[in-house]
Each structure stands twice: as C-alpha cells, then as structure tokens.
Structure 1
C-alpha cells in the first residue's frame, strides 16, 4: 500500500497498520521463451589443451536445425553476396509447359486490367448492352400508380460537346519579389591601378572633336585613310572644297532673299494700315458734319415756334 510508505501522523490516535503482500511461491516465466518442446540434452565439455572444444556443435544442438544455426561469419552473409553467379533452378513454367490453366488465367486477367486502364486514360468507355430493370411501387391507392418499371441504360457521351461546368480561374496573387542577394564588400582597398584597369575610355569620333566642332573634310579623309594618304590621292579635295563653298554661298543668298522678302511684306502691311486709318478719319469727319447741320436746323425751328406763340397771345 502507498499509505504504508508515508510517515506517521503527529496528531493521530489510530496507529497505521503495516500491510505485507504475500510473495509468489513459483517464479514467473511470462517473458521466457517457450522451451517445453526442446529436449533436455546435456553434453559434457572438457576444456583441455589436448582436446579443443567445438562451440559450433553446441549451437547446432541448441537450435535443433543445422540450417538455421550461424556458426561462422560466412553463415551471416546473404547467399546473393556470397554467390553472385548462382543460378536458380526454380520451377518457372511457360504457357506450353504449365500443367494447369493458372498461368493463362493470370495472363488474361492482367491483360483485361491493363486494357481497362488504357481505355479510362483515353476517355473511351466500354459498350455495355446490359439493361437494368427496376420495378418501383408507390403508396397510392389507385391501381394505375401502384407499380412502374424503369430501365436503366448507359449511353456513351459525345466527346465534342462543350463543357457543362464553368471552370474558374485560380486568381492567385502576384508572388513576392525575390530576396536581395547580399554580398560582403571586398576587404582590400581599391588602388589607382585597379581603377585604371577597369576604366573604359570614351568613344573617339573622327567627325567631331571634344568641343563639338565639326572637323574639316580634308582632315576626315586623312583620318579615314589612316594617315597613309599622300600627295597622290584619287579623291579631288579641291572640288570638295569648291562644292562646300558653293553650298555656303547658296545658303547665304537664300537667307538674304528671305530677309528682303520679309521687309517688303512689312512695308506693304504698313501702307495698308495707313490707308485704312485715312478712310476712318474721313468717315468720322463726314459724320460730325452731318450731326452739326441737324442741330442747327432744329434750333432755328424752335425759335420760330416760340415767336408764333407770343404773337397769338397778344
């Protein structure tokens, strides 16, 4: 009992009773192997230098089977590793030498299963002419609705029909950007030699210099020839010079003609504006004269009417 292991209480009047469990008279053999059928064999072994003891014989006697006993290191090695070129002589029959139809039956069943899997993968359904007839009975009181016969058939589906169910797209979110690859900075200092080694020079043009001015035609020809162009050359440089001068003169003449034409247009526009101003002034003077004559005639008529009224009163 667990209470017997506890210390004695201080303020208790009843003393605890020690309980002692009885011990088993016979030893338990639950975990021991079943050794009832093993014969009781006693062999006398002598450990003398003149008569060496064979321990393998004792192992074989205990196991009872020489094939199951491993008395040496070679017995623990598998047969495939011990004899790699070992030929098996098992009874492997063919369709012609098989005494019964078990091999043919296994072959037919395997072929049937393989054909069924291939047809299912290709979407080909097997034609089944079997018709299942089912009789249904209703709970109605009328004789007409008591029994019905239903035939169940399997029809092959047309593979060219459009899909019956709408396939929704998986609208996944954009994946997260890849993590940056962090590299440690080089421990060595960058010297001037390393900078000069990795420096890429700027492009050098044979047509423009660093300041952006165009190079003359003669220098271009010399640069294109690689400096090998001497006094004797197939290109007439003087003609090219005359052509460039003619083009410059034509450009200058065109600019002068355009400036003269613009000045003439300005003078013509000024003359037209002066004529319009003169016409407007003449119209203003005429309108003023007309309004002045009207006012004078109105005053004269008013004075005449006033004199006539005075005379009539007298």
Structure 2
C-alpha cells in the first residue's frame, strides 16, 4: 500500500535527547515480500478426527431350549484306537483282525475278471505271434536280397575271370595280382556271409559247416 507519514513527539525533551529536535516525521512502508521464502507458520497441523460412526447393531435370535435330539447329535463318541488298548499296549494282530470282522465276510469275485484276464492273455499271445511272423518275414526277405547280391557279384567275378582267361596276358605279374585281389574279395565276402548267417540263424551255420566238411 502507499507510504504513511506519522509525526512523532518524544516525551523527553532536551538537547541531549532526539538530537535536540522536538518532533520527528516517521515514514511507514510495507516490507517487501520474498516469493521464494518458505512459510513462517505451520500449515499442516493435524486436526483430531471426529468420533466414528456407531457400529452396526448385532441382532441375535432369542434363546431357545436345546431339544433331546440336538443333544444326541452334539454328543461325540470317544475315540477308540484299533491298535492300542485302554492301557496303551499294542493290540495283537490276530485279535485286531478278529475284532474287525474281516474273516466273517464272504468274498465274491465277479466272473468278468476271469473273462478279462483270458481276453488279455489271448490278445498278448496273438500280438507276440504277429511280431514273430513279421520278424521272420523280414529276415527271409533280407536273406533273399543278400543271396541275390552275392549271386550277382559271383557272376561278375566269373565274367571277369573268363575275360581274363580269354585275353593273352602281356605282363604276368599284373595278371597274378589281379587274380589275388579277386580271391581276396571272394574270401572277404564269404567271411561276411558266414558272420551274417551266424548272427541270424546259428543252426544254419552249423549245417553249412557240416556240408563243407563232407
């Protein structure tokens, strides 16, 4: 706001007071407000809360007398252990089973159990037979294919021998080496065939050995 001027007359007058002046004029101006200055008074003072709302009333049904039936339903029988007697000793197994009454029950097994077991046994046997038949067929096909390959290789070797016998050799050493290589290949194939036969059918191998000995 605007400045105010006040005339001030001190109570003590004299040359020693107020620099000898009888009156003074005082100028009053509002102090400048700093906008960054924090507030000087607490503004977050906690105010005590008012009383809460009254709790909801709990309504109870009027008391009624307990009937005899309800008393019997609430009666819990004491826990009796099947393993320990009243003194804390372990009950023997035979007495426990006799008190249980399991031996008095007559067991009745349904006849469908026997039918189911028989059907499962027949199905398992047929499945095993089918697997064995399939394995035998695969072994026969593999053996036949192996024999065809061996026959083809034998024919090729015989053809090579015939051609070599019909042509005159220019150098005897090279022809002998070729013949030894062919013999070595034949023996290698024969040994491989014997191993395969021993792996597939041991009885066939013993029969082949007997025929060779003859």
**Who wins on radius of gyration, i.e. which is larger?**
1
TM-score, structure 1 length as denominator? 0.21
| Bigger relative contact order (CA 8 A; separation at least 6) | 2
TM-score, structure 2 length as denominator? 0.30
